[in-house]
């Protein structure tokens, strides 16, 4: 028997959900006035009407707000012609099903199946056009289906049983053209050399591969899993003016470390990892080998950090893509060492302009606003449900992200020092724990390695995943219990490539034997290949000694988490997969992990011809400041940030917003990761894509500098700080993209080395281009996110950016140069700058140490870094945060050279390594002493009247602005994007 | 002997560790137990003087906030909970815990359980989840969890915190001094104005207690204002040993201590 239970709001069309739906639909051009939203549950099982009524009335309906109605499955509700339904497609994760089943069991009902849906009752019969617009507005066609009229079902839809067939794919004796065909047909995303290597392997083996073997190799060799571009061979060249083979300025050949012939064997090793190796910090405990980099924290514990991208899924299904992005990186932390506990998350997004005209959105892409709303909701719902505070991030906008947005998700964990090492042993059982396996996300690893097109939404829908955060939270709690009971030898997460990657990695040195039919499925109908490569979320694999298998299975059962024994790690170095005893895969681990031919890339860098945007003529510094404060990259992201829990776990010590109005921007965040703990973690990030359009070398250095000055401004100890790199780039088989990549990597090496901040983890995403219908491929800007993590000088030395007390002195650390290329001054005025901001890391390091010393001594009342918009914007933000004013005078000596002496440069140039410090008058001399021999200048003082007044070199006052007016300009824009006003 | 506290968690509960830590600082022993363990052996509740249901998203709030957990209390633990209250013991629900207690009927009835519950917590007026610090006034001392009618600051972090009840019940709650916490503006007056009242709750209600005063539920998180660095303006304030939230736990542990034989 199937029952439909629907919950009708007593307030009808005025219920909050009904009103929200009406707004959403009217935005989509649907006449939806008076629409009413009903919650609908389908329950199948041996139950009578009385029980169904009890379920509706006493369990599901909120007795204050809703009335429950019960219908038989095939019965029509009243006004069936005005009904519309949206629900998850069969087989797509719907977390409600598990919770409903659990609640029904608690009242003694055992259903054979349940499903949830949203039902909408239109006030008038909707037109066909209304319905066709409503479906994509209320759901996402990739994961949801819709239905007009009454739902009439006698049973819940189910998957069909899969008929097993062992499939062999002919590759031997074929020419390249045919191999290419196999590559395309099976969506392997491999290149011809790789296909040839596969052909050779099976020629030697004297047989054809199975489909499972081919896909296993494709997943293992994917760019996503193997980083073959960055670890391959590169030949770098430059093209200067008049086809000269060197640039006029900043030739990479003159900057050090690059081999003179431009030939680089493994770019990652030559740059990013090289910095780490040279620095050899004793507190680097595990770098570049595990799911996350691990550094020391205190005597008992270490901390680990990983940042991932989830770009392509987020372009197609922003909510699910971003949610599973954060879910995936949290699993990376859970799978670091023997398992770490996540203590905070970060998120950084890059979108197209939020106010983009509808006709500028490429066909096949979503409007940036819709992507932003979905991405924010996805991160919010997953992170909040996991109980992990989201405390650091940033948002960036550029038209080139319209078809290919970027979603970076990071997670920080804490792990006992004696749980960092792990290794599966021969004979260990392979236990998969957590969610069941479905058809979700099949081919994600290979999908992320190809470019998006106007058809991606249709072609790749299988690659989209929907997460269930509660499932993951249950896995986390149980896994850490098992860790502390020493019940397993190794753990890793199922990420890209699913079981194939997880088991393949853990068994690399051993071999493994898996019986795929033992893997628990969400529904019938999966082929063994699908089981093996599904990227269904919330699954981990643990390696368990035979005598502990029973204990660990019991532990997981007690917490309602499924754990299943699916195989054994071997000692013969082979990967054996069976399906009901029949062998479907027999590969040498050595071939999978070391048999991949190395890639060779051409890299050509030519100084770019820049298109400086047309800015509006501004009448003066005041207008320029106002325009920068309101520009999308600089303005407040409060609308987004308040939707994240940044307090859960009660460790948040420097929060995203600061000051009496709790709206001043924080530079970084600080978290005390242990209840009662006396040490804090500081995390910050640096990302500026506009500099990359000028020179990726200096962009990389600037981004590292920005991350570090944010870190120091917050109170992080510069001598206990590590960084992470996340490259998102265009297609690197194009020499110009690769040329920019090489420059960025060397910039990263030089800055990391000079600052003494080792890279400990990183990730690259290299195919971020969108192909329009007209066939034009739009590459994203070169995007290098730098995330910094380390230990605070002390909890009491933590520093916030809001001005604290009238009468305090304001000091500026660092020289200012005329560096406007890529600046926000350039962006809002259209006046092109000549050079991008550069970095003198040796000098900056000394300043950062001096600031740390001042923080340690308790001298620093507030600190804030100068970034987009330079000194003027930084001062404005400090005033906004503190609800106080500042009286400031520009001075000649702040300029690095005589050529840099002018008001505009001192106000708006984005020279790196500069921080503003607020110091009580009686500590001023001591701070100058700490800065002996370093650039530190008196700026002025904090005043109680809420005005920012900046006096220029000539005695004029180019900036005289009201603080509350600046706050509104800076705070309102993102609210306005969503048709709201910022709260008072 | 120390009083004993039980911090009860379910799938999706996520504030249990800081809640237990705070209770221990306040002088109780505190155990964190999965509700499955209590369902297997309900009599274990008798070992405790104080039951705390912390924040989170129990069972994902998939059927409505707190609904599945509340259903477990009502349908599977009812006799033990009735005995617990009859023995004069205390129950505390924070955020999702408040949603659970309210929807289980443990806050609004004349008996231990109100069936069906007559009040609910629904979607914030803003229509979305928000994290922000709020000022609260303690307006009743009916419950041993509070002492003194002062203004305190705790953060809220929820999507469904709007307290809704029929007018008659609101009057009754006020008359019986069951309204304990109200959202107040900068002048300390109860307010309906966003964001000081972050969710639009009727009569600015942020937390209520049962008729007996033994059960307290509130949306804001006192356990997130315990240490000196918790308050968003701590860098502007003189250093304090404890934040505003600690007193609530101290009061509860003190009363629970009186029950220790």
Q: What is the pLDDT of residues A77-89, one digit of tens each?
A: 999 999 999 998 8
Is residue A677 less than 8 Å (CB to CB) from chain B?
no
* A632-656: pLDDT as tens digits: 999 999 999 999 999 999 999 999 9
Rounded to a whole number, what is the distance in Å from the CA of B142 to chain A's nearest CA? Answer: 26
Cα radius of gyration (chain A): 29
* A890-924: pLDDT as tens digits: 999 999 998 888 999 999 999 999 999 999 999 99
Nearest chain B Cα to A657, which residue? B232
Would you say A606 and A239 are in contact if contact means Cβ atoms under 8 Å apart? yes
In Å, how far are A282, A409, A770, B20, B220 from B230, measured between CA atoms? 32, 25, 45, 17, 14
Residues on chain B touching A656 (C-beta within 8 angstroms): none
Is residue A233 less than 8 Å (CB to CB) from chain B?
no
Contact call for B195 and A983, based on CB within 8 A: yes
Would you say A835 and A701 are in contact if contact means Cβ atoms under 8 Å apart? no
Rounded to a whole number, what is the distance in Å from the CA of B261 to chain A's nearest CA? Answer: 30
Residue A152, both tokens: 């009439």
What are the b/e assignments for A219-231, b being 16+ CB within 10 Å?
A: bbbbbbbbbbbbb
Is residue A646 less than 8 Å (CB to CB) from chain B?
yes
pLDDT band at A307 (very low <50, low <70, confident <90, very high): very high
Contact call for A384 and B116, based on CB within 8 A: no
Over residues A458-472, mean pLDDT: 70
Nearest chain B Cα to A680, which residue? B229
Contact call for A63 and B230, based on CB within 8 A: no
Contact call for B131 and A642, based on CB within 8 A: yes
Say how far apart CA B157 and CA B166 lie, in whole Å.
25
Nearest chain A Cα to B77, which residue? A106
A791, HSE (Cβ side, Cα atoms, 13 Å):
19
Residues on chain B touching A658 (C-beta within 8 angstroms): 232-233, 235
Would you say A679 and A297 are in contact if contact means Cβ atoms under 8 Å apart? yes
Percent of chain A with pLDDT strictly greater than 70: 97
Q: Which of A16-30, A261-275, A433-447 has the highest mean pLDDT?
A: A261-275
Residue of B60, B72, B117 with shortest CB distance to A95: B60
Rounded to a whole number, what is the distance in Å from the CA of B54 to chain A's nearest CA? Answer: 11
* A660-690: pLDDT as tens digits: 999 999 999 999 999 999 999 999 999 998 9
Quick one: which of B66, B118, B70, B73 has its CA closest to B95?
Answer: B66
What pLDDT sits at residue A459? 44
Contact call for B11 and A984, based on CB within 8 A: no
Is residue A920 less than 8 Å (CB to CB) from chain B?
no
| Residue A821 CB contacts under 8 Å (≥ 6 apart), including other chains | A610, A691, A694, A832, A833, A834, A835, A836
| Residue A160 CB contacts under 8 Å (≥ 6 apart), including other chains | A524, A525
- H/E stretch holding A760 reads strand A759-765
pLDDT band at A461 (very low <50, low <70, confident <90, very high): very low
Is residue A385 less than 8 Å (CB to CB) from chain B?
yes
Phi, psi torsion values for A707, nearest 5 degrees: -60, -40
Average per-residue pLDDT for chain A: 93
pLDDT band at A693 (very low <50, low <70, confident <90, very high): very high
pLDDT band at A454 (very low <50, low <70, confident <90, very high): low
Nearest chain A Cα to B75, which residue? A107
Rounded to a whole number, what is the distance in Å from the CA of A941 to chain B's nearest CA? Answer: 17
Chain A, 468 to 497: residues with Cβ < 8 Å from chain B are 468-470, 473-474
pLDDT band at A98 (very low <50, low <70, confident <90, very high): confident
Residues on chain B touching A798 (C-beta within 8 angstroms): 229, 235
Would you say A378 and A303 are in contact if contact means Cβ atoms under 8 Å apart? no
Q: Is the pLDDT of residue A828 over 60?
A: yes
Say how far apart CA A778 and CA A731 lie, in whole Å.
10
Rounded to a whole number, what is the distance in Å from the CA of B89 to chain A's nearest CA? Answer: 25
Residue A635 C-alpha from the chain's centroid? 21
* A182-216: pLDDT as tens digits: 999 888 889 899 999 999 999 999 999 999 999 99
Provide the whole-model pTM: 0.95
Contact call for A103 and B118, based on CB within 8 A: no
Contact call for A646 and B131, based on CB within 8 A: yes
Is residue A658 less than 8 Å (CB to CB) from chain B?
yes
Residue-by-residue pLDDT tens, chain B, 261 positions: 899 999 999 999 999 999 999 999 999 999 999 999 999 999 999 999 999 999 999 999 999 999 999 999 999 999 999 999 999 999 999 999 999 999 999 999 999 999 999 999 999 998 899 999 999 999 999 999 999 999 999 999 999 999 999 999 999 999 999 999 999 999 999 999 999 999 999 999 999 999 999 999 999 999 999 999 999 999 999 999 999 999 999 999 999 999 986
* A32-47: pLDDT as tens digits: 999 999 999 999 999 9
Residues on chain A touching B236 (C-beta within 8 angstroms): 660, 802, 804
> Is B221 a catalytic site residue?
yes
* A873-895: pLDDT as tens digits: 999 999 999 999 999 999 999 99
Over residues A944-972, mean pLDDT: 96
Contact call for B120 and A65, based on CB within 8 A: yes
End-to-end CA distance of chain B: 8
Pairing of strands A574-579, A512-515: parallel
> Is B18 a catalytic site residue?
no
Residues on chain B touching A799 (C-beta within 8 angstroms): 235
Rounded to a whole number, what is the distance in Å from the CA of A41 to chain B's nearest CA? Answer: 10
Is residue A345 less than 8 Å (CB to CB) from chain B?
no
| DSSP secondary structure letters along chain B | ---EEEEEE-TTB--HHHHHHHHHHTT-EEEEEEHHHHHH-GGGGGG-SEEEE--B-GGGGBTBTTHHHHHHHHHHSHHHHHHHHHTT-EEEEETHHHHHHHHHTTTT-SSSS-SS-S-EEE--TTSS-EEEEEEEEE----STT--SS-EEEEEEEES--EEE--HHHHHHHHHTT-EEEEEB-TTS-B---TTTSSS--GGGEEEEE-TTS-EEEESS-GGGS-STT-STTGGGS---SS-TTHHHHHHHHHHHHHH--
Is residue A260 less than 8 Å (CB to CB) from chain B?
no
* A147-177: pLDDT as tens digits: 999 999 988 877 667 778 888 998 888 899 9
Tokens 């599977």 belong to: B76
What pLDDT sits at residue A458? 45
Is the backbone peptide bond immediately before B195 cis, with ω within 30 degrees of 0? yes
Residue of A20, A103, A861 with shortest CB distance to B63: A103
Nearest chain A Cα to B127, which residue? A16
Set B49, B221, B230, B231: catalytic member: B221
Residues on chain B touching A63 (C-beta within 8 angstroms): 116-118, 120
Contact call for A64 and B119, based on CB within 8 A: yes
Nearest chain A Cα to B228, which residue? A653
pLDDT band at A463 (very low <50, low <70, confident <90, very high): low
Chain A, 546 to 565: residues with Cβ < 8 Å from chain B are 558-560
Residue of B21, B62, B157 with shortest CB distance to A645: B157
Say how far apart CA B247 and CA B252 lie, in whole Å.
8
Residues on chain B touching A669 (C-beta within 8 angstroms): none
| DSSP secondary structure letters along A675-718 | TT-S--EEEEEE--STGGGT-HHHHHHHHHHHHHHHHHHHTEEE
């Amino acid at each position: 028997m199937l029952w439909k239970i629907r919950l009708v709001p007593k307030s009808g069309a005025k219920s909050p959900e009904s009103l929200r739906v009406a707004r959403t639909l009217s935005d989509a051009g649907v006449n939806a006035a008076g629409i009413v939203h009903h919650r609908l549950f389908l329950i199948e099982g041996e139950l009578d009407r009385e029980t169904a009524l009890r379920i509706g009335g006493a369990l599901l309906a909120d007795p204050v707000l809703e009335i429950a109605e019960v219908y038989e499955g095939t019965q029509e509700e009243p006004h069936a012609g005005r009904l519309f339904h949206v629900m998850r497609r069969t087989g797509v994760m719907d977390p409600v099903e598990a919770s409903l089943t659990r609640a029904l069991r608690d009242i003694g009902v055992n259903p054979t199946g349940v499903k949830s849906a949203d039902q909408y009752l239109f006030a008038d019969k909707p037109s066909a056009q209304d319905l066709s617009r409503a479906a994509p507005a209320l759901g996402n066609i990739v994961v949801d289906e819709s239905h007009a009229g009454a739902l009439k079902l006698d049973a819940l839809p189910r998957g069909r049983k899969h008929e097993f067939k062992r499939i062999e794919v002919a590759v031997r004796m074929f020419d390249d053209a045919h191999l290419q065909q196999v590559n395309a047909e099976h969506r392997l995303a491999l290149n011809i050399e790789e296909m040839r290597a596969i052909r050779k392997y099976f020629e030697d083996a004297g047989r054809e591969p199975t489909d499972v073997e081919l896909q296993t190799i494709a997943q293992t060799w994917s760019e996503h899993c193997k980083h073959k571009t960055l670890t391959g061979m590169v030949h770098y060249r430059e093209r200067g003016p008049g086809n000269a083979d060197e640039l006029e300025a900043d030739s990479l050949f003159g900057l050090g470390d690059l081999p003179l012939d431009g030939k680089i064997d493994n770019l990652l090793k030559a740059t990013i990892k090289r910095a780490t190796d040279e620095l050899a910090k004793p507190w680097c405990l595990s770098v570049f080998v595990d799911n996350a980099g691990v550094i020391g924290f205190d005597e008992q514990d270490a901390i680990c950090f990983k940042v991932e991208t989830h770009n392509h899924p987020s372009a197609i299904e922003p909510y699910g893509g971003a949610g599973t992005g954060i879910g995936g990186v949290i699993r990376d932390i859970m799978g670091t060492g023997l398992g770490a506990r996540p203590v905070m998350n970060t998120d950084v997004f890059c979108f197209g302009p939020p106010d983009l005209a509808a006709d500028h959105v490429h066909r096949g892409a979503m409007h940036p606003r819709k992507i932003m709303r979905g991405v924010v909701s996805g991160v919010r719902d997953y992170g909040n449900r996991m109980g992990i505070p989201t405390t650091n991030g940033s948002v960036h906008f550029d038209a080139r992200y319209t078809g290919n947005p970027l979603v970076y998700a990071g997670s920080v964990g804490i792990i006992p020092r004696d749980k960092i090492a792990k290794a599966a042993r021969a004979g260990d059982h392979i236990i998969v724990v957590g969610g069941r396996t479905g058809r979700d996300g099949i081919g994600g690893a290979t999908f992320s390695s190809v470019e998006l097109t106007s058809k991606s939404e249709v072609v790749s829908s299988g690659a989209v995943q929907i997460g269930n955060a509660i499932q993951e939270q249950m896995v986390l709690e149980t896994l850490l219990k098992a860790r502390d009971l020493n019940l397993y030898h190794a753990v890793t997460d199922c990420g890209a490539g699913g079981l194939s990657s997880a088991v393949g990695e853990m068994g690399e040195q051993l071999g493994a034997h898996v019986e795929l039919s033992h893997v628990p499925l969400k529904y019938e109908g999966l082929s063994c290949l699908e089981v093996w490569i599904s990227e269904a979320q919330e699954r981990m694999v643990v390696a368990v000694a035979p005598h502990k298998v029973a204990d660990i299975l019991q532990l997981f059962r007690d917490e309602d988490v499924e754990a299943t024994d699916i195989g054994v790690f071997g000692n013969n170095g082979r990967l054996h997969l069976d399906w009901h005893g029949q062998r479907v895969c027999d590969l040498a681990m050595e071939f999978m992990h070391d048999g991949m031919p190395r890639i060779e890339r051409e890299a050509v860098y030519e100084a770019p011809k820049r298109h400086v945007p047309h800015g509006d003529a501004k009448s003066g510094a005041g207008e320029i400041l106002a325009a920068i404060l309101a520009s999308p990259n600089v303005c407040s992201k409060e609308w987004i940030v308040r939707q994240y829990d940044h307090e859960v776990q009660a460790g948040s010590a420097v929060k995203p917003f600061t000051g009496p109005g709790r709206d001043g921007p924080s530079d970084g965040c600080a978290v005390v990761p242990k209840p009662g703990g006396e040490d804090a973690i500081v995390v910050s990030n640096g990302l500026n894509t506009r500099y990359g359009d000028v020179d990726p070398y200096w962009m990389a250095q600037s981004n590292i500098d920005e991350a570090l000055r944010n870190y120091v401004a917050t109170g992080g100890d510069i001598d206990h700080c590590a960084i992470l790199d996340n490259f998102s780039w265009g297609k690197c088989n194009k020499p110009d993209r690769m040329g920019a990549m090489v420059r960025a990597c060397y910039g990263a090496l030089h800055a990391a080395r000079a600052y003494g901040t080792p890279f400990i983890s990183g990730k690259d995403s290299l195919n971020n281009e969108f192909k329009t219908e007209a066939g034009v491929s739009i590459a994203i800007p070169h995007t290098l996110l730098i995330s910094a993590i380390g230990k605070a000088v002390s909890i009491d030395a933590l520093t916030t950016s809001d001005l604290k007390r009238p009468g305090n002195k304001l000091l500026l650390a660092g020289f200012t140069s005329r560096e406007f290329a890529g600046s926000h001054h350039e962006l809002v005025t259209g006046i092109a700058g000549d050079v991008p901001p550069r970095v003198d890391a040796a000098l900056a390091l000394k300043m950062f140490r001096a600031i740390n010393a001042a923080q340690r001594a308790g001298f620093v009342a507030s600190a804030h870094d100068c970034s987009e918009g330079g000194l003027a914007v930084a001062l404005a933000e400090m005033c906004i945060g503190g609800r106080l004013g500042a009286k400031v005078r520009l001075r000649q000596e702040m300029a690095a050279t005589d050529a840099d002496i002018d008001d505009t440069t001192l106000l708006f140039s984005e020279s790196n390594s500069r921080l503003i410090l607020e110091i009580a008058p009686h500590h001023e001399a001591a701070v100058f002493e700490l800065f002996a021999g370093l650039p530190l200048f008196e700026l002025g003082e904090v005043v109680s009247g809420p005005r920012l007044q900046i006096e220029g070199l000539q005695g004029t006052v180019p900036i005289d602005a009201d603080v509350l007016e600046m706050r509104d300009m800076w705070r309102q824009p993102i609210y306005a994007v969503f048709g709201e006003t910022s709260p008072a | 002997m120390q009083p004993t506290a039980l911090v009860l968690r379910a799938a999706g509960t996520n504030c249990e560790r800081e809640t237990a830590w705070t209770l221990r600082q306040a002088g109780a022993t505190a155990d964190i137990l999965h509700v499955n363990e209590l369902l297997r052996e309900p009599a274990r509740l008798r070992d405790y003087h104080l039951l705390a249901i912390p924040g989170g998203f129990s069972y994902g709030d998939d059927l409505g906030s707190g609904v599945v957990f509340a259903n477990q209390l009502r349908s599977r633990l009812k006799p033990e909970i009735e005995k617990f209250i009859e023995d004069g013991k205390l129950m505390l629900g924070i955020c999702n815990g408040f949603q659970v207690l309210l929807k289980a009927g443990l806050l609004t009835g004349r008996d231990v359980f109100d069936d069906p519950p007559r009040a609910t917590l629904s979607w914030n007026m803003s229509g979305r989840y928000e994290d922000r610090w709020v000022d609260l006034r303690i307006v009743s001392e009916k419950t041993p969890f509070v002492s003194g009618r002062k203004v305190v600051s705790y953060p809220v972090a929820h999507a469904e915190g709007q307290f809704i009840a029929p007018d008659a019940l609101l009057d009754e709650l006020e008359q019986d001094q069951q309204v304990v916490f109200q959202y107040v503006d900068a002048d300390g007056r109860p307010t309906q104005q966003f964001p000081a009242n972050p969710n639009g709750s009727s009569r600015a209600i942020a937390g209520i207690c049962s008729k007996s005063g033994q059960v307290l539920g509130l949306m804001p998180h006192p356990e997130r204002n315990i240490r000196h660095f918790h308050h968003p303006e701590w860098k502007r304030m003189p250093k304090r040993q404890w934040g505003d939230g600690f007193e609530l736990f101290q009061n509860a542990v003190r009363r629970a201590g009186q029950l220790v034989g």
